[in-house]
Every structure is written in C-alpha cells, then in structure tokens.
A and B are shown apart, each in its own frame.
Chain A
Amino acid sequence: MFELLWLIPILPLAGFLVLVLFGARLPRRVTAYIGVGTVGVSALLALFIGFTFITAPPPGHAFSQTLWTWLHVGTFAPGITLYLDPLAVVMVLVITVVAFLIHLYSTAYMAGDEGYARFFAYMNLFVASMLILVLADNLLLLYLGWEGVGLCSYLLIGFWYTEPANVRAAMKAFIVTRVGDTALAIALFLLFTQFGTLQIQAILQRAPGMWLPGSAVAIAAAALLLGGAVGKSAQLPLQTWLPDAMAGPTPVSALIHAATMVTAGVYLIARTNTLFTLAPPVQHLVAIIGAATLLLAACSALVQTDIKRILAYSTMSQVGYMFLALGVGAWSAAIFHFMTHAFFKALLFLGAGVVILSLHEEHDIFKMGGLWRKMPLTFWTFLIGALSLAAFPFITAGFFSKDLIVFEEWGSVEGNPGLWTVAMIGAFLTAVYTFRMVFLVFFGKEKTKPEPRRDWQMALPLVVLAVLSVIGGDVDLPRTLGNLPLLTDFLRPVLPDAPLRAGASSIEPLLMIASALTSLAGILLAYFLYLRRPVNVRRAEHGNWLARYFFAGWGFDWLYYNLFVRPYVWFAHVDKHDIVDAFFNLIAGMGMQYHELLSTLQSGKVRWYALGIAVGAVIVIAILVLT
C-alpha cells in the first residue's frame, strides 16, 4: 500500500507537464479533468494511505521510499526520498483534500479566463511542490519543494500579468520570501557541515548527542531555520508580502496564501523541533515573533476595507498563533491549528471569492451589504467559517485548536502569563474583525446588487469545508471536554508533548471558559460597532491616524522601501554604466591623450626637429658633465 506513496506528488506533477506541453491545444473540459483529476486521485490515494497508516502503522511509525539518489559527492548523498510519518500523513491529507476542493471550485471560478490551462498547470505544480516539501526525507529535497511552492506562488500572484501592480506584488512575494529561503540555505550548509548529512531524521537523532542545549552552533542553526520559516509563513519581520499577494485569483489565495504554503514555516519548525529544543533562546524567539505578528496582523485586519486583505492579515495572525504554540513546545497544537485553519480559512476565501464574483470584482466591504438573503448558501457557509475563525465556543473546530494553544501558553513549562495574555487579546481581536467583516458584507443595507452564482463546483467545496470547519475540531478533544486527543496521540511519535506546569490542568476549565467568553465578547462588540451604529465607527476609522497606521501594515512597507529598495535601486541607477568600466576607459583615454600629445611633436617641420635634437643633446651632455 505504502509503495504507492510516490504517486501522490507525481500525479499533480504529471498534470502540470501535460497542461504545460499541450494545454494550449486542449479543450477546457479536458483541462479541467486533468487539473482536478490528478489532484483528486492524489487526495484519494492520500486518504487510502492515511487510513492504512492509522489502522496499521508501518514499523517505527515511518515509511520511506527512495526514488533515486539525487547526487552523490563524497559523503554528501541526498536522495529523492519520500518519508511518511504521522506528521507527514496529516500534512498530506490536509493538502490534498483542500487542494482538491479548491481545484474543483476553480473550474467554475476561472471558467471565463483565457489562461485556464495555465492556471491549472501552475496550481498542479504547486500541489506537487507542496507535497514534496512535506514528504521530503532530507532538507535538500525539502528545499526543492520549498522553492517550488515559492515559484508557484509567484506565478499565481502575477497570474493576471497585464496589470503591473499584480506583477509587482508577485515579485515582492518572491523576493521577500527568498530572503528567508537564503537563511534556510545557510542553515543547510551549517547542518551539513556539522552532521555530514542532510537527512532530517539522522540530524534529529544526532543533534542532542553533539550539541549542548543553548550552545552557539545550535542557536545559529535554529535561528537560520527560523529565518526560513518566517519568510514563508509571513511572520515578522518578513510579513510584508502576504497582503499584496492577494493580487492573485481568489482560489490561489485560498490554497497557497491561507491553507498550505504559508504554513510551511510551521511545518519546518515542527519537523525540526529537536533543534529548537536545543536552542531555548530561539524557541522563545519563535513565541515572541508569533505573539508580535499575531497582534500586529489582527490590528491591521481590524481596519482593512478589502475583504481579501482582511483575510490575508487574519492568516498572518493565525499563523502567529501557530508560531506561539511552537514557541512553547506545543508542536502538535500548532499542527492541529494548521489543520483547522486550513479548513476554515480556505472556506472563508472561497466564500469571499463567490461574493467578489457575484458583485463583479468588488473587494470593498463597505460597498457590500445585505447579501445574506440573496446568497444564503454562501452566507451560511461563510458564517460557519467566520465562527470557526473567531473560535466560537464548543461547536467550531477553530475553538478547539485555538483554545489548546491558549491553554498551552499558560500551562506549559515554556509558557508564561504574558504570552497567554497576548493570545487572549488576539482571540478577542480576531472575533471583532471577523464579525466586522460578516456584518458589513452580509447584513445591513444592500449597496451593490449581486448576481449570485449557482455552480455546483463552487457550492460543493463550500459545504464540505464548512462541515470540516465544524467537525475538524473533534479529532483532538481537550481534557475538559471528552478528553480524546486523537491527533496529539497520533502525532506523538514525531512531536513530543510539551511538559505542563504542576497544577496547570486543574485550571484548564477556567481558562477555557475565559477564552470562550473572550470570543463571544468580541463578536458582541463587533455587533454593536458595525451593525447597530456603523456610521460613527466608519468615520473614526477613516480619520484616525492610528487606524491609518494599522491600515498600512504598521509602516513596514515604507520602512523596507526606504531601507532596502531605494538604496538598491539608487545604486543600480547610479552605477548603471559600471564605475569599473569607467576606470579602465580612463586608462584607455589617457593613452589616447598621450598619443595625441606625442603625435603633435611629429609636425614635419625641420626646425622643430633640429631644436629637439639640440635641446636633447644639451640635456644629455649636461647630465654627463654634471654627474
């Protein structure tokens, strides 16, 4: 059964190849079958393999399959090897299932686009790269997937390439994430130099024996890995690309910039958790970065007007939660939140896509309103997604996963009340901005007349994701409610539990009630602010300098533009003609000058020559006589 593992990433890759080579000549229906079908079969295979893995796990809870040895130099011999363990199972399942639903949705969403085949080609390549990323047995193969998803993200953000702003956003995304990728590459050099291999399991096994906790080399390695993770996962300080990445088609935002690629950093840290345990300062930094991004992005989401930008900031903020969990060693809680987030955020993006399409490419939530009557299915599914994002207590998946993280911030040994407070404030803000969006888009007065879409290809994914956004939380029930941590148990061979403080579990119910109340309070506040008396708030949002500051993403774009982009462009502009060339040209020019100068001596006039001979003779004789 497990031998079929290689088919999971290869099928979408084959789809990509077919679409790239023959896409222009294929009819749309065939394109759709190839694009969706390959991912669909991958998803089926993943479900099948995942089911087998859960019921009859392979020895050692891991299965690895070498396709071929990539290259072999001295002792460096990374293979094209897939490695399936519980963590990879969870990742593969979420990726393939969500990707399949989004592909299906895209067949209707992109129906009118002339780049239909190109779109599915890129999307298939993305799925293949993402699967390689999570299935890689060594860091070099992981890096291949890592860069592959970056490329697809670039291609898909700039999918509508005639608009210069889209292309700029795509470039920005690639360049900013590449900064992180470079840190990751250096981490690879360091790890190879230390361990003589890039195989992840070998590194994780040997690291505790070779490095003392807190030693400089461990800190350097973990910090470099973290650098890679923050780039891909749009965390501080490399978060600026994500809001602009919304220039891509909405299914792209749902798949790449919400459900899968932006969580690659979370996967990387969870995968190399041993290295972070060996570097406590860096692990602490992970939590701080998560906390800071969480608050920053939530505040920005609070004042955005573009529905997709709200969701983008929300994604940043939710990934911040995952980092927060990683930072206190609650590895499986981060993966749990990754899973539920993939469901509800994909759902929200797809719902937003339906809204945008029905309103003729209208993105401004203040120009929407009253849609719930006209688009009931979209409304109800969107509401479920929103409730899940806002962690509406006890019924939504988002509540269970977020509550687990919030609890770990308090209860785990690494956690502290400060982090817990940040997590609570974040939960409150999340509820506010989520329901600000819901109330403004679906309630109130109708401002733009919608033309609702009724394609089943769009409806079905919404319904399935809505169901997953509710029941997805049941795979890991907390101690206080059912005490059935299936996911945590499943992941335990890979991701160790975070040790709890003494007495932490006794106050768990209390903390849970607190977070439930926070969520409800946030929704209530949004109700009062945006549904009861919307006018005042809107005025305040527009006039307030703080709101403008939040709106602009805390000025990071401005800062980076002035700090990096301008000097770079300035230097390139100034030195366009290459100062080194000018130097050599100067030498050449001087040669020419002397040539001119000396050639004037050759005037053809005998009296000058005679004079020259005479003066020369005098000088020579003078030298001879005087010395």
Chain B
Amino acid sequence: MILVWLILIPFIGGLLSWLVARWNVTAARWIALAAMFLQLALAVGIWITNWGAIKLAGRGPWLIDYRQPWLPQLGISLHFGLDGFSLLLILLTGVIGVWSILASWRGIQERVGFFHFNLLLTLTGITGLFLALDLFLFYFFWEVMLVPLFFLIDIWGHERRHMAAVKFFIYTQAGGLFLLLGILGLYFVSGKGSFDYFDLLGTPMSAVMAMWLMFCFFLAFAVKLPAFPLHPWLPDAHTQAPVAGSVDLAGLVLKVAAYGMIRFMIPLFPAASLHFAPVAMTLAVIGILYGAILAFAQTDLKRLVAYTSISHMGFVLLGIFAWNELALQGALIIIIAHGISTGALFILVGMISDRFKSRSLENMGGLWPLLPSVGGVWMFFAMASLGLPGLGGFIGEFLVLLGTFKVSVGFAAVASLGFIVSVIYSLWMVQKVFFGRPSHTEPVPGLTWYEWAMMASAIIITLWLGLYPQPFMDTAAGSLLNLLKGTARVSSLRSPVLGTDIETPRLRLLLVAKYHSRLRLIGSFGVCPQNPIIDSGFILRPYFGDSYRNSLATQVGTQSETGATLSPEFRCQSPKYSPALMLCPSTDNPEKRDHTIASLPPSPRRERLGVRGSRGGRP
C-alpha cells in the first residue's frame, strides 16, 4: 500500500494545490512543495528501513510488492513493485520534484494552481512508471506523464512554446504508439491473457517476432531517451519549457526510457536485444559525439545544455546494451548523476536568464565578478558534465566504458572520445558566460535561500556519487544482478562472470560463442590445481527467450590434466547461439590463444567446437 501512497501523494498534492490556488497562491506553492517533500521523505524512509534487506544477499530483489486486480477480464492488475533500482529512481523523482517546485517559485506567476497540478501530475506519472509491473499500467502512466507535460510546455513555456509542445507531443506519442503495439503484440503472442511483467518474462516466440516486438519497445524508449537520430524534439522541448519543465524533462523523463529498457525491453527480449546490440551501440556512440558537437554549436544556453543531455544519454544507451554488471551500474550512476547535475544546470540557466533577461551566449560574458557564487557552482557542474573524476558523472561514464570495453573494444574506444568533446562544450559554456570582458556591469540580486538550498543539495549529491557511490550501487546491485541472471544466457555469453584471481593456471578454459556470424572468444579462465572445481557461476542458467523447440541441452564433461572433472552444463536455445567449451592445454601465452581461436572454421557448427588438443573427452 505504501507504493500506492508514493503515487497518490503527488496526485493529491496537485489537486489540492489547484483548488487552494483559487484563494491563496502562496499556499498552493507550499502544498505542492509539502507533497513532494512527503514523497521524498517516504522514499528515504523506505530506503532506510529496507537497508538491511538491500544489503542482505539472497532475499531476492523485490522489497515491496503490491497487487490488486483492476480489469481481471483482460488480465490487467494494479501491480506495483519496488526493488533497489526503482527505489533509487523514486528517490531521484523526489529530489527533482522538490527542485522543480522551488525553481518555479518566482518564475511562475500565471495560473499557479493549474501549473502545480500539471507539474505534480507529471511527477505522479513518472512515479507510477518506476513502480508499475504490469505492462498496461506502465503504458497508462506513460500517458499520464505525457499530457500534463505538454501543457506545462505549451502554457508556461518561452517564446516558441507551441511549436515545441506539439513537436514534443507528436514524437513521444508516436513512440508511445509503438510501445502500445509492442505491449499488445507481446500480450497476444504469450497467450496467457495477462499483462503482468512476470507472466510475460520468458515468453517463447520466434526470433523474428521477438525482433519486431523488441524494436517497438526500442523505438518508444529511443525517442524518449533520446537516442540519435530520434532526438530533435529534445532541444526544442528543453529550450521552450519553463525551468521546472526542463528540470523534469532532463532529470526524470529521459530516465524513464533508460528504466524501461533495463526493466522491460532487454529482459523481455534478451536474444533479440543481443542481436540488435551492435546497432544500438552504434547509435549510442554517434549520439555521444553528435550531441557533444552540437552542444558546442549552440548559442542558446538552454539549447546547449539540452544537447549535452543527448551526449550523456548516449553513454546510458551504450551501458544498457553492453549489459553487464559494470556497465549497468555505470548507466545507473549516470542516470542519477545526470539527473542531478543537468537539473542543476537548467536551474542555473534559469537564474542567469531571470537576472539578465537573455539566454543567448552572444549577450553574455564576464559575469563572474557579478555572480561569483553562481560562477563557482556553474563551474562545478560544468566539470561534472565533462566527467571530472570525483564527481558523479565520471564514475558512471567510466564504469559504462569499462563494461563496454569487455564487450567491444571498438565501441568503448570511440565512445571514449566523448571525454574530449565534452570538455569542449563544457569549457565553452563557462567561458562564454563567465569569462572574458564584462557584458553587464550593473549589480544583480544574489541567490535566494532556496536557490542556495537547491544548489547545495545538488553539489552534495554529486560529490557523494563521485566519491562514495557504494550506497547507491549496493541498493541497485540486487535488482541489476537479478535482471542479469534473468537474461543469463545473454549476459553469460557476452561477458561471463568468470573466476576470481587464479594464480597459476595450468589449463585455460575458453568459452566461445557464435555472435553475429563470427566466432568470438567470449571468456576464458584458468583452472588451477588448488581449486580444480569450476565455480558454478559458469553454469548457464536455462533461459529460453526464443523457443523450446530449438533448444539444446548439452553436457560437457572432461578430464583435465590436473585430474579435476569439469562438468559445466550448457543449455541454450538455438544452434545459432550455441556456446561451446574448448579446452586448451596450458595457454598462458595470449598469442597462442588467439591463434587457436583464429584457426577455428569461420562458421562452425557446435560439433566442430569440441575439445581441442589431445586431452579430455567429449560426451
């Protein structure tokens, strides 16, 4: 029930605020603020009370589960669930929600009640999205989030708000239609008559069908994320939205897409996602570089920050499709850190444009002496944006690239160029606003107490994420590992979690899989005499994303030179992905190892990939 309250609090707060605003505008603001504070407090309370459960391994990732039938004839239920991953996003929602109300404290003077109703309804939708475990419910909240956001942009936006609002709506709605299509498709393919997440997980279907459905989900989320080339709505929407809208968009709405991919798209269609990964990762890398270059090109400050979001979200997309623990934890940290730091940057832009009545870089320069504290804070978030170690963004980007490097050196290397281009736009932004010859000389009001409060909280969270992100990672670890385990076939094939430090490998076990029509070495580990039994982590959990019919179960047992019996069990669903075990005698020499791999036939069947060398036998 507490989960329902998480959703209801902003909703009720929004309604109340709308009503009260007829009599007292300030009271309406306070009500909205109180509602978001209450939600944040509730989320923090859940975090603290569940801390023990989070740290406790083996209890399963789900902390709170709530299920009530809604439309049982159609298999739709009010199913909400909270695990560490969604908890972190709820916390982010709380923080960003409080900020967005404070950020519009002075700026919004028209139709205050309706503004707060829309704002809080958006936050309601977002909260619901992070909790929904019923796909229909998920889609419902998707729309709940979308419509009020449209009004926020269209009514309270800047000079070209109508165009931006319509553009935003059409893009997102088009994406949303694909999401609906994907959800309905999955519903009918599964034939279970249920929209429940857990009922739909592991639905057997043909590879082609999986690909189409996955693609529907991907389109919806890629628009929202946004991934190159579906991003053009974002600069307009960010630029034209009121400050609170921009903060919500950057801080939360984009994150919904990342959440959707991690929670729904990949677990529902692991094999198809794996197949699609090279395409998605290419888009991610292009997005990283393209967003950064275009950020540098902008002269409108808000537009500049908007394009940086495209660049950062590229890292998230890359991490998601790399799909291993490092990359996912990294993506999660970016999600939080980017929400905080970009939210703060939008608030800062709001402060600057409030005080100087302009967002154009052409009209700025040399503002440091007038607003040294804003300059300092701005510099801080510019550094967070370019990925300075010690701040949140760096940890995320580093982990994503580290995880990606394990999967693909090429993607990681090219994405690393993002480190260079992000410096260019970040420094450019600081330089054009604060350095150079002074463009304004008349003094402007300093920061108010709530502006200080927002900036201080943003700085503290960013430093916390950068210097000791462990609490966040621990919170999410259980859920992320569970998701990885659910798609074990994919993850194990892509980057097996292989043994710890083995000092003197006598024997090297190579795990080979055919991946995108090329034979690849996907992992290897040594077997040492002291510890001959291979860790059970090596056994691939049976998971059937494609079809039972094509599945094969293989047992490979062999006698190694150390006398240990190796019996890893392999199950996989189609010969296309068939992994094989290969034993190579004592290959500490990487060149030799590479040679062994390279000498394999280009398109081998599983049978040909038996045990190499003279030792060991096959069943």
Residue positions of A touching B, CB distance < 8 A:
20, 24, 68-76, 80, 140, 143-144, 146-148, 151, 154-155, 158, 161-162, 164, 167, 170-171, 174-175, 178-179, 181-182, 185-186, 188-190, 192-193, 196, 209-212, 215-217, 568, 571-573, 575-576, 578, 580-581, 583-585
Asked if residues A182 and B467 are in contact (CB atoms below 8 Å), the reply is no
Segment with Cβ contacts to A, from B143-151, B211-219, B413-421, B564-572: B413-421
- Give Cα A171–Cα B435 distance, bound, in whole angstroms: 11
Alpha-carbon distance A190/B417, docked complex (angstroms)? 16
Contacts A/B (CB < 8 Å), 19 sampled = A24-B372, A70-B467, A71-B395, A73-B326, A73-B399, A75-B500, A140-B398, A148-B390, A164-B437, A167-B431, A174-B427, A182-B419, A189-B405, A215-B590, A572-B296, A575-B293, A575-B297, A576-B298, A578-B294
Q: Which residues of B contact A576 (CB under 8 A)?
A: 294, 297-299
| Contact residue among B293, B424, B497 (Cβ-Cβ distance under 8 Å from A175) | B424
Beyond A69-B470, A154-B427, A175-B427, whether A568 also contacts B436 by CB under 8 A is: no
Determine how close the nearest CB of chain B comes to the CB of A9; give it in whole angstroms.
13
Stretch of B51-59, B116-124, B126-134, B225-233 lying at the A interface: B225-233
State which residues 464-497 of B face A: CB under 8 Å: 467-470, 473, 477, 497
Are B326 and A74 in touch, CB under 8 angstroms?
yes
Chain B residues lying within 8 Å of A181, measured Cβ to Cβ, are 419
Would B436 and A161 count as touching, CB distance under 8 A?
yes
B228 in contact with A193 (CB, 8 Å): no
Complex interface: chain A residues within 8 A of B366 (CB): 161-162
| B424 with A68: CB separation less than 8 A | no
Cα A74 to Cα B294 in complex, Å, equals 36
Set of chain A residues within 8 Å of B372, measured between Cβ atoms: 24
Of the listed residues A24, A70, A573, the one surrounded by the most CB atoms of chain B closer than 10 A to its CB is A70
Cβ-defined contact, B293 with A571, below 8 A: yes
Q: Is the CB of A185 within 8 A of B501?
A: no
Residues on B with beta carbons closer than 8 Å to the beta carbon of A144: 389-390
Closest 4 CB pairs of A and B: A572-B297, A581-B232, A144-B389, A189-B405
Whole-angstrom distance from the CB of B205 to the nearest CB of chain A? 31
- Bound form: Cα–Cα A189–B329 in Å: 16
Which residues on the B side are within 8 Å of A72 (C-beta)? 470, 473
Cα–Cα distance between A584 and B233 once the two chains are bound (Å): 10
Beyond A144-B389, A181-B419, A182-B419, is A190–B405 a contact (Cβ under 8 Å)?
yes
CB distance from B521 to the nearest CB of A (A): 12
Would B398 and A185 count as touching, CB distance under 8 A?
yes
> Residue B199 at the A interface, CB < 8 A?
no
CA A140 to CA B470, docked complex, whole Å: 16
B-side interface size class: 35 or more
B438 within 8 A of A: yes
List, in ascending order, chain B residues with CB within 8 A of A572's CB: 293-294, 296-297
Return the chain A residue nearest B402 by Cβ: A189
For the complex formed, measure the closest distance between the CB of B369 and the CB atoms of chain A, giving whole angstroms.
8
In the complex, given contacts A69-B470, A174-B427, A576-B297, what are 18 additional A-B residue pairs having Cβ atoms less than 8 angstroms apart?
A70-B467, A73-B325, A146-B389, A148-B389, A162-B366, A164-B437, A182-B416, A182-B419, A185-B419, A186-B412, A196-B500, A196-B501, A212-B590, A568-B296, A572-B297, A580-B228, A581-B232, A585-B232
A175 to B379, CA, bound (A): 16
A residues in contact with B402, CB < 8 Å: 76, 188-189, 192-193
Q: Is the CB of B296 within 8 A of A147?
A: no
Residues of chain A lying within 8 A (CB to CB) of residue B497: 74
Tell me which residues across on chain B come within 8 A of A171, comparing CB atoms: 427-428, 431
Report the nearest B residue to A179, measured CB to CB.
Answer: B420
- Contacts of B428 on A, CB cut-off 8 Å? 171
A568, B399: Cβ atoms closer than 8 Å: no
- Interface members, chain B 436-482 (any A CB < 8 Å): 436-438, 467-470, 473, 477
Instruction: For B435, give its contact among A162, A212, A585 (CB under 8 Å).
Output: A162
Which residues of B lie under 8 Å from residue A585 when comparing CB positions? 232
Contact of B401 with A by CB under 8 A: yes
**Docked CA distance A571–B298 (Å):** 12
Residues in B with CB closer than 8 Å to A182 are: 416-417, 419-420
Q: How far is the CB of B166 from chain A (nearest CB, A)?
A: 9
A217 to chain B, nearest CB (A): 6
Q: How far is the CA of A20 from the CA of B329 in the complex (A)?
A: 32
Judge whether B376 is part of the interface by a CB distance below 8 angstroms. yes
B242 adjacent to chain A (CB < 8 Å): no
Interface membership of B49, Cβ < 8 A: no
Across the interface, do B591 and A178 meet the contact criterion of CB distance under 8 Å? no
Q: How far is the CB of B287 from chain A (nearest CB, A)?
A: 11
Contact B588 A209 (CB under 8 A): yes
Instruction: Please tell me if B383 contacts chain A, counting CB pairs below 8 Å.
Output: yes
Expressed in whole angstroms, the Cα–Cα distance for A185 and B372 within the complex equals 33
Q: Determine the distance from Cα of A68 to Cα of B388 in the docked complex, in whole angstroms.
A: 20
With A76-B402, A144-B389 in contact, do A580 and B231 touch (Cβ < 8 Å)?
A: yes
Q: A185 — which chain B residues lie within 8 A by C-beta?
A: 398, 401, 416, 419
Report the Cα distance A217→B592, complex, angstroms: 13
Q: Is B343 on the interface with A (CB-CB < 8 A)?
A: no
Residues of chain B contacted by A568 (CB below 8 angstroms):
293, 296, 424
- Do residues A189 and B412 form an inter-chain contact, with CB atoms below 8 A? yes
- Contact A578–B235 (Cβ < 8 Å): yes
**Which listed residue, B325, B427, B589, touches A212 by the CB 8 Å rule?**
B589
Q: Shortest Cβ distance from B603 into chain A, in angstroms?
A: 26
- Chain A residues lying within 8 Å of B437, measured Cβ to Cβ, are 162, 164
B232 touches A189 (CB 8 A): no
**Bound CA–CA A185/B588 (angstroms):** 26
How many angstroms between the C-alpha atoms of A143 and B398 in the bound complex?
11
CB distance from A589 to the nearest CB of B (A): 13
| Cβ-based interface call for B506 (8 A) | no
Q: Is the CB of B412 within 8 A of A158?
A: no
A151/B467 contact (C-beta < 8 A), A76-B402, A162-B366, A186-B412 known: no
Q: Does B434 contact A (CB under 8 A)?
A: yes
Interface string of B273-303 (1 = CB under 8 A from A): 0000000000000000000011011110000
Give the residue name and chain of the A residue nearest to B395 (CB): A71
Q: Can you list, as one digit per residue, whether each of B99-143 has a CB less than 8 Å from chain A (1) or not (0)? A: 000000000000000000000000000000000000000000000
Chain B residues near A580 (CB-CB < 8 A)? 228-229, 231-232
Known contacts being A71-B470, A576-B298, A580-B231, is A193 close to B427, with CB within 8 Å? Answer: no
Which of B299, B423, B436 sits near A178, CB closer than 8 Å? B423
Is B66 among interface residues, defined by CB-CB distance under 8 A?
Answer: no
Q: How far is the CA of A196 from the CA of B524 in the complex (A)?
A: 13
Contact indicator A178/B419 (Cβ below 8 Å): yes
Within the complex, which residue of B379, B388, B409, B431 is in contact with A147, where a contact is CB–CB below 8 Å? B388
User: In the docked arrangement, what's the CA distance between A341 and B235, Å?
Assistant: 51
CB pair B468 A76 closer than 8 Å? no
In the complex, A209 Cα to B325 Cα: how many Å?
28
Alpha-carbon distance A584/B431, docked complex (angstroms):
33
Q: What residue of chain B has the Cβ atom nearest to residue A172's Cβ?
A: B427
Rounded to whole angstroms, the CA-CA distance of A581 and B469 in the bound complex is 37
Say how far A209's CB is from chain B's closest CB, in angstroms. Answer: 7
A188 to B403, CA, bound (A): 12
Interface contact A74-B325, CB-CB below 8 Å: yes
Give the nearest-CB partner of A118 in chain B.
B372
Residue of A nearest to B383 (CB): A151
In whole angstroms, how far apart are the Cα atoms of A20 and B326 in the complex?
34
B473 & A73 in contact (Cβ 8 Å cutoff) = yes
Pair B417/A73 contact, Cβ less than 8 Å: no
> A436: shortest Cβ distance to chain B, in Å?
35
Q: Is B30 an interface residue (CB 8 A)?
A: no
Q: Contact partner of A174 among B368, B423, B589, CB < 8 A? A: B423
In this complex, the member of B294, B329, B469, B588 whose beta carbon has the largest number of chain A beta carbons within 10 angstroms is B294
Kindly state whether residue B406 has any CB partner on chain A within 8 Å: yes
Note all chain A residues with C-beta closer than 8 A to B325.
73-74
Shortest Cβ gap from B251 to chain A (Å): 23
Closest B residue, CB atoms, query A572: B297
The answer to whether B590 touches A210 (Cβ under 8 A) is yes
Contacts of B379 in A (CB 8 A): 155
Complex contacts, B419 vs chain A, CB 8 Å: 178, 181-182, 185
Complex CA–CA separation, A571 to B294 (angstroms): 9
